[in-house]
């Protein structure tokens, strides 16, 4: 058995078919005497819908995913070196790749009935995966199993470049003008931070409301299906009673 090929096939399946196919693969491995591999396969977790969407994009939009991974690697490298120009260039490339992938995810969502929050979580997972060596490897293999979030504050604001190193300078005597300038600068930065966080709060609140609406729709659909099932069950019971009655009448006629 080519296990790598079997695993590729497994992660290409829709989420609803994953568990049965995984268990069947583990069963086949045990039958072949590969008990250790069978146990490892049995431990594989079913990817959530958003993650399954990421794996699908990793296969169908391989070039865009490669561009995203390359940009994520450049982002972390430029942050460590304090190279602001390289950081901005990498971030622009990251945004272009994410926009293309997000649009592709929306097209799939429209075709298959996914909600907007699923696309948002898939986009966030792709971005987070691109920022680590392990995540980039899983993207390349299209075998992610869980949703990811960018580490720390990056989940909301994106990476910020490290301050570039400057040669040490001889200290100058501080003046009142220096103090005022520093306070104005600090005030400007604080206002910008508040503005940015408020914008992010609005975006997250909007996403939360959308998720709540989707959950309400799902609950309503489930309740409707339960009612239909109850009616069908009652109809089946009534039909069974009629069958029994007809059989009894037939027996009497004999």
pLDDT tens digits in sequence order for the chain, 254 residues long? 688 889 988 988 888 899 999 999 999 999 999 999 999 999 998 989 999 999 999 999 999 999 999 999 999 888 878 888 889 999 999 999 999 999 999 999 888 887 789 999 999 999 999 999 999 999 998 989 899 887 653 433 444 444 444 444 555 566 666 556 666 765 665 565 545 546 555 654 454 464 445 545 645 555 565 677 567 677 667 767 776 777 777 777 87
Write out the two tokens for 191: 């206002």
- Contacts (Cβ under 8 Å, ≥6 apart) of 108: 53, 56, 57, 114
pLDDT value at position 39?
Answer: 94
CB contact set of 131 (below 8 Å; sequence gap of 6+): 72, 75, 76, 150, 151, 154, 159
Which residues lie closer than 8 Å to 142 by C-beta, 6 or more apart?
8, 11, 12, 55, 56, 58, 59
> Contact 147/124 with Cβ under 8 angstroms?
yes
3-state helix, strand, coil in the chain (%, to 5): 80, 0, 20
CA distance between the termini of the chain: 62
Position 170 scores a pLDDT of 53
Cα–Cα distance measured from residue 30 to residue 138, given in angstroms and rounded to the nearest whole number: 26
Query: In terms of pTM, does the model score above 0.75?
Result: no
- Give the HSE-up count for residue 31: Cα atoms under 13 Å, Cβ half-sphere: 7
């Amino acid at each position: 058995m080519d296990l790598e090929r079997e695993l590729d096939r497994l992660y290409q399946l829709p989420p609803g078919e994953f568990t049965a196919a995984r268990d069947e693969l583990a069963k086949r491995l045990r039958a072949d005497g590969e008990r250790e591999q069978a146990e490892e396969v049995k431990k594989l977790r079913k990817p959530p819908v958003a993650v399954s969407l990421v794996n699908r994009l990793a296969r169908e939009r391989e070039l865009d995913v490669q561009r995203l991974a390359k940009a994520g690697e450049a982002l972390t490298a430029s942050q460590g070196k304090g190279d602001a120009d390289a950081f901005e260039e990498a971030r622009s490339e990251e945004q272009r790749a994410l926009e293309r992938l997000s649009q592709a995810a929306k097209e799939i969502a429209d075709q298959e009935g996914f909600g907007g929050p699923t696309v948002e979580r898939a986009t966030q997972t792709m971005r987070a995966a691109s920022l680590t060596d392990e995540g980039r490897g899983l993207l390349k293999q299209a075998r992610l199993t869980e949703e990811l979030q960018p580490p720390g504050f990056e989940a909301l604001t994106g990476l910020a470049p490290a301050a570039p190193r400057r040669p040490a300078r001889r200290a100058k005597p501080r003046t009142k003008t220096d103090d005022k300038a520093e306070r104005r600068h600090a005030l400007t930065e604080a206002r910008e931070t508040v503005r940015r966080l408020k914008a992010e709060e609005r975006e997250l609140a909007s996403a939360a409301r959308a998720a709540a609406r989707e959950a309400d729709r799902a609950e309503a659909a489930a309740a409707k299906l339960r009612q239909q099932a109850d009616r069908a069950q009652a109809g089946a019971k009534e039909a069974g009673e009629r069958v029994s009655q007809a059989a009894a009448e037939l027996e009497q006629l004999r």
